[in-house]
Chains A and B, each alone.
Chain A
Amino acid sequence: SQTIHQWPATLVQPVGSPLSLECTVEGTSNPNLYWYRQAAGRGLQLLFYSVGIGQISSEVPQNLSASRPQDRQFILSSKKLLLSDSGFYLCAWAGANYGYTFGSGTRLTVV
């Protein structure tokens, strides 16, 4: 069966520090992968998606970047975090019939 792992679950980082969130998928190959951000009580904002290794599409210009070094690995990064980067980050992959499966999320607080 397919599973998705996302870590860490919680992260508190100072302003100006770097960021690396990782997401891996098991049990499937060449998945479409996604990074979303969600503000408290709000909907999901698509940040990046990838349809293959090294292929990254950015939806929102910002302080973040994404990479896909391996088929089932998707990384969200920042060189210098801003206070506005705080939020809940979700990784997802698109399965059969385009239904998404989500990771458990990372709650990022920039202080």
Chain B
Amino acid sequence: AQTVTQSQPEMSVQEAETVTLSCTYDTSENNYYLFWYKQPPSRQMILVIRQEAYKQQNATENRFSVNFQKAAKSFSLKISDSQLGDTAMYFCAFYSNYQLIWGAGTKLIIKP
């Protein structure tokens, strides 16, 4: 079965620091997509970044970047220059068979 594991239930950092959220997954597929979603207190689910497995280059979106290690099945999210508005739940997800397989989430708190 395909699974997604986020081993950090909660993290907190000071504003302007860099933080890395971990995600590992298990699959036998070779071509797939990976995602990070953010869910702020409003509970709106927002796509942060996506990575195609066939691309070796790590995806970046402004202050957000990933470290995609296909052989290790690891997909971590790095947030640089963290801001108060980054406080949210972060979910890692893997796309397979018309569905997203979700991790349990990491609660990230940015402290002023």
Contact = CB atoms under 8 A, between A and B. Distances in A.
Interface string B3-47: 000000000000000000000000000000101010000011111
Nearest to A44: B102
B100 interface: yes
**Chain B: number of interface residues, binned into ranges:** 20 to 34
Given A32-B98, A49-B99, A98-B33, A42 B104 contact: yes
Contacts, number: 48
A51 B98 contact: yes
A30 B2 CA distance: 26
Contacts of A38: 43
Contacts of A102: 44-46
B43 A99 contact: no
Given A92-B45, A100-B100, A44 B50 contact: no
Interface string A58-99: 000000000000000000000000000000101010100111
Contacts of B81: none
Contacts of A110: none
